[in-house]
Structures are given as C-alpha cells and as structure tokens.
Amino acid sequence: MGFRLKNLPKIRIVSSREDGLHRLIDRARRTEAWADGMIEKLRPTCTMLYGIRRHLATGAVVIVTAWLFVHVMFGMNGMVVYRQKKAEFQSLQEQIKDLKQENVRYTEQIHSLRTDPKAIEKEAREQLHYARPGEVIYVSPAPVVPPVPNRRSAKK
C-alpha cells in the first residue's frame, strides 16, 4: 500500500527573521509608491469634482424632484388615479342614493298593496285588466309604424 500525496503546495522557508522583515518593508515601500501614483493620477479628477460639487448636488436634487413629481402625478396612487377614483366614488354614491330612493318607493308600494284596497284594485285593473260588473274596457290598437322607403334603389 503506497500512500502518495500529489500537488502539495510548496512551502516557502524564510531563512531568517531579518530577511522576512526586509521583504515586508520592501513590499510596504512598493505599496506606498503605488498609492502615491494612483493619488497623483486621480488628483485632477478629484479636484474637478470638488470644484463642481455644487452643480452636481443641484442636478441630483433636480432629478430627485422631477422623479417625485412624476411619481406623485402618474404613479400607482398618483393624482390622475386619485381623480379617477374620486369620480368613480361620486358616481357610485349617486347610484346608491337612487337605489335607496327606489327601495323606499318599492317599500311604500308593498305597504300600500298590503293595506290599501284602492291600491290593490288599481293594480288589478292595470295589470290583469279586471273590471267591475257592468264596466266596459276599451283597448286602443298598437300604433302602426310606416315602412321605411328603400332609398338605395335611386343610387347608381
């Protein structure tokens, strides 16, 4: 049975503590030089941004204000939708009022049909065409509708 390990990472052995410290200091110097180079590259851009910061802030405020205006006016619950819902609410309120009046009228009619003999007689005469003995009922014929002349025959 052979036990073999493959692809083991190489272990770097530092010969002395001083060499490790010197390497660390060298890397720190290179990192500082790189950071200084990046700062020098970005300095003109940062200076320009610092100079126009008020303009950028004003532009950002204008954009946010415009977005809020559009959202308030045309959003899911904006003013346009609010006015539509308000008009719908008013029309529904009118329908409710009309239905309540109709309900009251039907309630009064039901009450009069239960208690008033004259109302019962009126409904019997109108809907069932009842008559008292000796009365004659006259029914007028339905009005005749004249035929519509054919006007397409004259066109050629």
Does 155 have pLDDT greater than 60? no
Residue 48 lies in a domain: no
Does 156 have pLDDT greater than 70? no
Residue 41: strand, helix, or coil = helix
Does 144 have pLDDT greater than 60? yes
Residue 98 lies in a domain: yes
pTM of the predicted protein model: 0.43
Averaged pLDDT, 105-113: 93
* Higher per-residue pLDDT: 79 or 8: 79
| Alpha carbon distance 27, 45 (integer Å) | 28
* Greatest mean pLDDT among 10-14, 73-77, 117-121, 123-127: 117-121
pLDDT digits (tens, 9 = 90+) for 92-102: 999 999 999 99
Residue 89: predicted pLDDT: 96
pLDDT digits (tens, 9 = 90+) for 46-99: 899 888 999 999 999 999 999 999 988 888 888 888 899 999 999 999 999 999
Domain residue limits at 88: 76-132
Residue 80 lies in a domain: yes
What's the domain count of the chain?
1
Does 15 have pLDDT greater than 70? no
Residue 60 lies in a domain: no
| Alpha carbon distance 108, 95 (integer Å) | 20
Does 130 have pLDDT greater than 70? yes
Residue 93 lies in a domain: yes
Query: Measuring CA to CA, which residue among 135, 112, 107 is closest to residue 122?
Result: 112
Residue 58 lies in a domain: no
What are the tokens at 19?
């060499």
